[in-house]
Amino acid sequence: QKERRTPLFSSSEKKIHTLDTLLPALEKQRQAGRTIVFTNGCFDLLHAGHIEVLEEARSLGDFLVVAMNTD
């Protein structure tokens, strides 16, 4: 049996979705009348500029979706 790793940040496990789990979560947010904000980017070397963009995007609504791009 494969040992399960403990995530570095326990709260992150609930924040990472596949498309199959994201769609119902978005529908729940819509039904609650919340504003959904979407942004995306390549965050290979996360820096202060990325954090600023994510914080700004988050301030535009109630529920932030961040898609990760590849190089």
User: Exposure of 53 by Cβ count < 10 A (0-12 exposed, 13-18 middle, 19+ buried)?
Assistant: middle
Q: Report percent pLDDT > 90 for the chain.
A: 62
* Phi and psi at residue 39, to the nearest 5°: -145, 165
23: in domain: yes
Q: What is the pTM assigned to this prediction?
A: 0.75
Number of domains in the chain: 1
- C-alpha 19/C-alpha 31 separation (Å) is 18
* Phi and psi at residue 7, to the nearest 5°: -65, 150
**Which residue range forms the structural domain that includes residue 33?**
16-68
For the chain, the average pLDDT equals 87
HSE of 65 in the Cβ direction (CA atoms, 13 Å)? 16
48: in domain: yes
> What integer is the mean pLDDT of 8-27?
82
